[in-house]
Every structure is written in C-alpha cells, then in structure tokens.
Structure 1
C-alpha cells in the first residue's frame, strides 16, 4: 500500500537523510501533525489511551508555545514528539537560513531528535 512519500528529487538532494526504516516485522507507526491544539489533541490522547496505543506527535512550535499544558499531556502519556517547524512553513518558499531559523526556534520548545517538514 502506498500512502505518501517525498518527491524523488528530495531523496536525491539529501542522500544522508533516513527516508525509510526497514521493518523486521509488520507494524504501523501512527503519527499526528500540526498540534497541539485544544480542540483535538486531548480527544486523540484519550482514544489512544483507550486502546493502549502510542504515537508520535509532530508539533508546531508556536502551538506548543500557546498550549504548553496540552504538549505536556502528550509527553506525560508516553508519546514521542517531533519538530514540525515553528510556524508550519513550507521550506521551498523560504531562504534556507530563514527556514532553518524557524526549525531552530521550534527546537527551543520541542526537545526531540525527530523532524518532519510541513507540506
């Protein structure tokens, strides 16, 4: 099944990036993007708890800044988090230094070795 994959030229431009992780057994990695948001994230956390499922939340730094209590809920319930930039910006529309500054600004709020670019 094909769900989503980055354009081939991204993989060519950045050969040192891990694009896929080979699995020894069949598994699903559940991820959520763009939070935390008060209207959705607590509900998602409750559903995940109900079924004993863990996920990774790729968070927008500005949302973490605005909703630190919900971000803390994600961590306290044992989920992973990743950086999804500070303002959910599309990299191709910014100079590299400005894009990286936005990623670094998010890293001030999101302590993680995971990064997922928006869009």
Structure 2
C-alpha cells in the first residue's frame, strides 16, 4: 500500500460497544470501513481492546481518537486479511481519519509503537488461525 490516493471512509454508522468484565469491548453492531478500494467488515459481537498502547504513550496519544482504528486493527490481526505491514498502515490511516481523528504526530507515533511491539500479537494470531 502506498500513500498516494489515501482514502478512508466509514461506510456504516458510528462505533457502538459494551464493556466486558475483562475491560475489552464487544461491538453491538457491525462496522464497515473502506480503506482505499478495500472494504473491511467487523461483525457485531467482535471483541476488541481498542488500541492497546503502552501506558507512557497514552499521555501523548488520546486513545478516544484511535478507538475505531484499534477495532479495525484487532480484526485484521485476527483474520490475516492483509499483511502485518498493511494492517499496521491501515491503523495509522484510520487514526488520521474521521471527525475526531488523531493528529499527524499521534497517528505516526502509534503506528511506530505498533510496528515495534505488536509482532508477538501478530504471530500469536497467525498460530491460532492455523489451529482452527
């Protein structure tokens, strides 16, 4: 995925969730987004921890501005629909989109932290999907 022609569009309505006892959130309705020419669907009932960023970075990145990006990212890590690099880039593009988007610094910092720290989560998701 290159940066030219960047387009992100929320096709369905806003994110609606309920908090679960473990602190994660469950989607109450499906979410559909279009990133460039690719549609991404997250079904109702999907559970996410949103953008699980390190505590120190939460001072610099307003987590409420990247919630939708986190849900999409979590779903793509589960499905493996895109490569890890593409999925992490989609997080950044989603973080920079919408009415309450993160600023450029927050989006790039979050992306960098994901690139540095989420390899274990990606590998665990790939291993789990092979077992199913």
TM-score, normalised by the number of residues in structure 1: 0.28
TM-score, normalised by the number of residues in structure 2: 0.26
Greater helix fraction, Structure 1 or Structure 2: 2
Greater strand fraction, Structure 1 or Structure 2: 2
Relative contact order (alpha carbons < 8 A, sep ≥ 6): 1 or 2 greater?
A: 1
Larger Rg: 1
